[in-house]
């Protein structure tokens, strides 16, 4: 899907943009997506990506991919590459090159000097604890630093020495001089630059001072000509500071607009918590298919189109609300129902012998790749007298026929794409477990219904002689609590059943499936070939989603 086809639904941000274009405030819409390269993107970031890139596409404008790389101790090229891969996979294009906050380090430094010369910034030499204490509280004004009235000349000299590496980490900090009694804590002389002797993934050891996000991001927007700086609601209280810097520097001022972030049930989206899950090996990595990361969802088999549909469907608003995970899963089902080829696999095999079918006969049955799309063609399934069906499709003592359409003693079902069979006998082992069914087939029912009776049940199967063994990973929700963040310890809410590994029997064509291919295992769910652990001829299948929402609330 090209970005020109990506729809953008009506929302309050679009209303603002329409008004700005109508009154001539802007001639072109320019947005940006500014991730920090300190982790992998998650579904919350996907909402912001779809919003920012979607609006730029809708209005024939531009959206910049700009990395906020102002904290070298947490940033890595691995994250930069992963983020670019995710944005591209979602279907978006950021133009000739990605941008970085580090592209503007020299300009930001010069702007800091401008504010010092205007008497709007000063070097503070308090300890971190002193600054914390003197900042005040929500109900108590802060206290001016004893270094607040340093002369412009002294501040310029100290700031240059900070830049030259003459001081140790934490010994000095550059602060904006605004109002220590402001009811908005963000305006109480916020930090602009800190000393950090750390190697930067792009600038190396050239800098030992780094701008704070609140100082940098507004100026970065200004440099890039961003018209609408769209961010989540937690930055609403930061907007006055964003605007203060731009006004004092007398440079172009983009409009910051806040929207409600995505809150998804049975999920955590704190980068700190996601990193903890990875580091403590509660999951196999950032791309574990149970993770809410874009890379995890891709590996699980979520289509990019389904994520875009989800982001459009939940909309954009100002009020925080919770979205149930089932909404996302429904978008995945809708997309895969249209695109996934059908195949047969038995996850919990039970042997079935057709007693009236010749032992030496093998018949090739035609099976559609997609029953609603005949143009997708078909494949042939080998059929013989020994099959495997799913154990859940047989009950020794089933409910009445009107409530149960699967197999039981003297009950009939149709084998998918095959004959109608009746269970004549079942065999148990010494533990009382059913290990084999003896059935007879109505050999006159291939491709047609029997006369005089209706058979509603249809079950899937594989040939015992032709099926191959495959590993299947049954992924479920990572947490068993709707809001894990409310748990006393969110790790205690981890779902111990979130991964179940089984060996299944699959029709032969599935053995040749390649990484990233997704199928509907008929009557079971949607499965994709794992892109990391599969090898040629030995695919591992990840369950993407069940055929319907089976989560028990």
**Mean pLDDT to the nearest integer, 460-469:** 97
Q: By three-state DSSP, how is residue 299 classified?
A: helix
What's the full length of the chain, in residues? 553
Does residue 336 have a pLDDT over 80? yes
Please compute the mean of the pLDDT values over residues 461-490 and round it to a whole number: 96
Number of Cβ within a 10 Å radius of residue 366: 10
Write down the pLDDT at residue 451. Answer: 86
pLDDT in tens, 281-298: 999 999 999 999 999 999
Q: Is the dihedral of CA 342, 348, 353, 359 positive or negative?
A: positive
Phi and psi at residue 459, to the nearest 5°: -125, 155
* Residues 475 and 498: beta-carbon distance below 8 Å: yes
Model confidence at 177: pLDDT above 60: yes
User: Which CATH architecture is the domain 343-463 placed in?
Assistant: Beta Barrel (2.40)
Helix axis angle for 213-224 and 239-249, nearest 10°, is 60
Domain ranges of the chain: 105-211, 261-339+467-553, 343-463
CA distances from 12 to 317, 479, 509 (A): 7, 33, 49
Question: What is the residue-averaged pLDDT of the chain?
Answer: 95
- In this prediction, residues 525-531 reach a mean pLDDT of 97
Environment class of residue 448 by beta-carbon count within 10 Å: exposed (0-12), middle (13-18) or buried (19+)? exposed
- Residues serving a catalytic function are 36, 261, 271
Mean pLDDT of the region 471-483: 96
- Alpha-carbon distance of 222 to 367, in angstroms, equals 59
Q: How many CA atoms lie within 13 A of 139 on its CB side?
A: 0
532 has a pLDDT exceeding 60 = yes
Kindly compute the dihedral angle of the four CA atoms of residues 165, 169, 172, 177, in this order, to the nearest 10 degrees.
Answer: 100
Compute the CA torsion angle 457, 458, 464, 469 (nearest 10 deg).
Answer: -120
pLDDT band at 480 (very low <50, low <70, confident <90, very high): very high
Instruction: Please report the pLDDT score of residue 11 as a whole number.
Output: 85
Confidence (pTM): 0.92
Instruction: Give mean pLDDT, residues 88-99.
Output: 96
- pLDDT for the residue 550: 59
CB atoms within 10 A of CB 77: 10
pLDDT tier, 1 (very low <50, low <70, confident <90, very high otherwise): very low
**DSSP secondary structure, 488-551, as one string:** SSGGGGB-TTSEEEEEEEE-GGGGG--TT-EEEETTTEEEEE-TTT-BTTB-EEEEEEESS---
Average pLDDT for 244-272? 96
409 token code pair? 């003693």
Which H or E run contains 332? helix 325-339
Judged against a pLDDT cut of 50, whether residue 216 lies above it is answered with yes
Q: 244: part of which helix (H) or strand (E)?
A: helix 239-249
- Given a contact cutoff of 8 angstroms between Cβ atoms, the answer to whether 92 and 83 are in contact is no
Six-digit token string for 194? 């800190």
pLDDT level of residue 303 (50, 70, 90 thresholds): very high
Check whether domain 105-211 has CATH 3.90.800.10, yes or no:
yes
Domains 105-211 and 261-339+467-553 fall in the same CATH topology: no
pLDDT at 8 over 60: no
- What's the pLDDT score for residue 7? 43
Q: Is 320 exposed, middle or buried (0-12, 13-18, 19+ CB in 10 A)?
A: exposed
How many Å separate Cα 346 from the centre of its chain? 29
Q: What is the CATH number of domain 261-339+467-553?
A: 2.40.240.10
pLDDT of residue 553: 41
Q: Which residues are CB-contacts of 184 (< 8 A; sequence separation ≥ 6)?
A: 237, 240, 241
**Predicted local distance difference test score (pLDDT) of residue 9:** 53
306 within 8 A of 50, measured Cβ to Cβ: no
| Average of per-residue pLDDT across 440-449 | 95
């Amino acid at each position: 899907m090209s970005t020109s086809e990506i729809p953008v639904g009506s929302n309050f941000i679009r209303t603002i943009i329409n008004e700005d274009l109508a009154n001539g405030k802007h001639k072109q819409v320019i947005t940006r997506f500014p991730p920090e390269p300190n982790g992998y993107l998650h579904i919350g970031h996907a909402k912001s990506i779809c919003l920012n890139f979607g609006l730029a596409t809708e209005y024939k404008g531009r959206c910049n991919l700009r990395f906020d790389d102002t904290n070298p101790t947490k940033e890595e090229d691995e994250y930069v590459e992963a983020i670019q891969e995710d944005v591209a996979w979602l279907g978006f294009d950021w133009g000739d090159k990605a941008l970085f906050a580090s592209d503007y380090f020299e300009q930001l430094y010069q702007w800091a000097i401008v504010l010092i010369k205007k008497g709007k910034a000063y070097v503070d030499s308090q300890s971190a604890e002193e600054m914390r204490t003197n900042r005040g509280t929500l109900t108590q004004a802060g206290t001016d630093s004893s270094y607040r009235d340093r002369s412009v000349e002294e501040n310029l000299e100290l700031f240059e020495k900070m830049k030259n590496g003459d001081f140790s980490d934490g010994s000095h900090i550059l602060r904006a001089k605004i109002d220590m009694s402001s009811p908005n804590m963000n305006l109480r002389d916020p930090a602009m630059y800190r000393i950090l002797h750390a190697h930067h993934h792009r600038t190396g050891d050239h800098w030992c001072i780094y701008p704070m996000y609140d100082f940098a991001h507004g100026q970065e927007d200004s440099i890039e000509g961003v018209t609408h700086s769209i961010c989540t609601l937690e930055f609403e209280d930061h907007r006055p500071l964003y605007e203060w810097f731009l006004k004092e520097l007398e440079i172009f001022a983009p409009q910051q607009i806040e929207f409600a972030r995505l809150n998804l049930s049975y999920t955590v989206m704190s980068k700190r918590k996601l990193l903890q899950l990875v580091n403590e090996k509660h999951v196999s990595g950032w791309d574990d298919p149970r993770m809410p990361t874009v890379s995890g969802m891709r590996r699980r088999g979520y289509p990019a189109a389904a994520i875009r549909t989800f982001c459009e469907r939940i909309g954009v608003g100002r009020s925080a609300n919770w979205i149930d995970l089932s909404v996302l899963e429904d978008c995945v089902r809708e997309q895969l129902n249209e695109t996934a080829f059908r195949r047969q696999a038995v996850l919990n095999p039970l042997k079935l012998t057709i007693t009236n079918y010749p032992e030496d006969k093998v018949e090739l049955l035609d099976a559609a790749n997609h029953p609603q799309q005949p143009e997708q063609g078909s494949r042939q399934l080998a059929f013989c007298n020994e099959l495997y069906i799913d154990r859940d499709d047989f009950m020794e003592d089933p409910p009445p026929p009107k409530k149960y359409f699967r197999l039981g003693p003297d009950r009939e079902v149709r084998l998918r794409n095959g004959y109608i069979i009746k269970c004549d006998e079942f065999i148990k082992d010494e533990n009382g477990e059913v290990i084999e069914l003896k059935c007879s087939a109505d050999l006159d029912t291939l491709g047609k219904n029997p006369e005089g009776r209706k058979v509603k049940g249809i079950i899937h199967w594989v040939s015992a002689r032709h099926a191959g063994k495959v590993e299947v990973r049954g992924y479920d929700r990572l947490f068993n609590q709707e809001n894990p963040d409310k748990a006393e310890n969110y790790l205690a809410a981890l779902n111990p059943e979130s991964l179940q590994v089984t060996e299944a029997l699959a029709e032969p064509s599935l053995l040749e499936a390649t990484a990233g291919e997704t199928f509907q295992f008929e009557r079971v769910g949607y499965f994709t070939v794992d892109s990391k652990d599969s090898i040629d001829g030995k695919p591992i299948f990840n369950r993407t989603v069940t055929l319907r929402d089976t989560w028990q609330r």
